[in-house]
Amino acid sequence: MRVTPSSQYIGFTRQVGRIQANKNAEQVRISTGKEVINLSDSPERVIDIKLFDKKINQNEKYQDVLDMTLSELYNVDGLLDGFTQILNDARRVAVDAANADAVSLQALGAYFRGYIEDLVQIANADFQGHFLFAGTKTTVNSIEDASGGSSSSPFEITTGISGPDNPSALSINFYGNDKDRIINKSSKTTEKINMNAGELFGANQEVFSYLIDLVNMAEFNEDGSERGDQDAFTQGDLTRLDKAQKGIMDSLMNINRLAARNGTKINRLEIMRNQLSDENIRLMDYRSIRQDSDVAEAAMNLQREEYALQYTLQVGARMNQISLFDFIR
């Protein structure tokens, strides 16, 4: 057997390397707070940790979707209140207009035109860049007007050609659609989140039709001529007025039902969001059990490795003083 000076250090360097590796591992466990650093540390734990991470990330994505949806539904809730206020005011004015001395009919027509403009303004409301009541046509780029050109809003007040049934020539054009917008609220369930124009205003935009009828009654006589300051409603006008205000009342009841449904949806999605939050807390606890290190134990192990390293280095220092003659003796 050949003995060389370098052969003395083979076991020594191997031992020092092992101790340094153990020491570094304990330092990483203390600094990161994690027991499992590499796959080789504990393969079965790594698999569990990865599964927990995947589920937690998935839940967080659904939470983000629910947070965004809830913000939109809160916004819609406020807009429905605006619709209700406008229609209540319009109906009240229409009922009061049955009294001939209430207000001049020309001024009354201006009131109803204002209600139409206010209603269209709310109907064109957007949330974070997408229209709320235009179905799946939620952006300006997706809106096309009747001629195929672009339009900046899904609802537009236009003035066309007057006729016996519509002497004011007012109309409301709708360039959106009545399709549903769907979100994935979990891995297995979906939810419709929008209210489309047909639900809110009727399949043929009847709400606007009632208000346009009120404008026509206030500003024009039954023969289509413009009313003067001293003109008053005829019995036929009062019959049409009563029909219009009843139609507005029906629309109000419909919007109130939609508002109640929207509130129920908000409550349900809030519960689901809270459930996801609670589930993530539990998953994080389970992951912590599988992943986190015992800092006190890691500190003790680190101290032990420090002592072992110091002892090994002392032995190495003494080995450096041994010569070949010591092996020969």
pLDDT of residue 314: 62
58: confidence class by pLDDT, cuts 50, 70, 90:
very high
CA dist 46 to 27, 39, 165, 210, 295, Å?
A: 20, 6, 75, 66, 19
Of 40, 106, 85, nearest in space to 248 by CA: 85
Mean pLDDT of 41-55: 76
Say if residue 97's pLDDT is above 90: no
| Residues 132 and 154: beta-carbon distance below 8 Å | no
CB burial of residue 106 (10 Å; 0-12, 13-18, 19+): middle
Which token pair is 253?
A: 């009841």
Average pLDDT, the chain: 81
Higher per-residue confidence, 140 vs 287: 140
Mean pLDDT of 215-236: 83
pLDDT of residue 35: 57
pLDDT of residue 42: 59
291: confidence class by pLDDT, cuts 50, 70, 90:
low
Say if residue 328's pLDDT is above 60: no
> Pairing state of beta strands 155-159 and 130-131?
unpaired
Q: Other CB atoms closer than 10 Å to residue 154's CB: what's the count?
A: 25
CB burial of residue 63 (10 Å; 0-12, 13-18, 19+): middle
Whether pTM > 0.85 for this model: the answer is no
Say if residue 323's pLDDT is above 60: no
| Residues 176 and 134: beta-carbon distance below 8 Å | yes
1: confidence class by pLDDT, cuts 50, 70, 90:
very low
| Residues 197 and 137: beta-carbon distance below 8 Å | no
The contacts found for 240-246 with CB under 8 angstroms, 24 or more apart, are: 240/213, 241/94, 241/97, 241/98, 241/214, 241/217, 242/98, 243/213, 244/94, 244/210, 244/211, 244/213, 244/214, 244/217, 245/91, 245/94, 245/95, 245/210
If you search the block for the tokens 């500003």, which residue do you land on?
219
Mean pLDDT of 236-248: 89
Mean pLDDT of 141-164: 80
Whole-angstrom distance, CA of residue 178 vs CA of residue 245:
26
Which token pair is 145?
A: 């007007």
CA atoms within 13 A on the CB side of 241: 29
> What 3-state DSSP class applies to 77?
helix
Say if residue 4's pLDDT is above 90: no
pLDDT of residue 206: 92
- Residue-wise pLDDT for 98-137, tens only, equals 765 556 777 888 899 999 999 999 999 999 889 999 999 9
Say if residue 140's pLDDT is above 60: yes
Mean pLDDT of 31-54: 68
Whole-angstrom distance, CA of residue 134 vs CA of residue 197:
6
pLDDT of residue 224: 83
CA dist 102 to 91, 221, 232, 234, 242, Å?
A: 14, 18, 10, 15, 16
Mean pLDDT of 165-193: 90
Say if residue 320's pLDDT is above 90: no
Say if residue 254's pLDDT is above 90: yes
Whole-angstrom distance, CA of residue 110 vs CA of residue 127:
30
Helical H runs in the chain?
Answer: 10-32, 43-96, 105-123, 197-201, 206-219, 235-291, 295-319, 324-328
pLDDT of residue 286: 81
Return the percentage of the chain with pLDDT > 90, whole number.
Answer: 41
Say if residue 316's pLDDT is above 80: no
Say if residue 212's pLDDT is above 80: yes
Whole-angstrom distance, CA of residue 109 vs CA of residue 55:
60
Q: Other CB atoms closer than 10 Å to residue 289's CB: what's the count?
A: 12
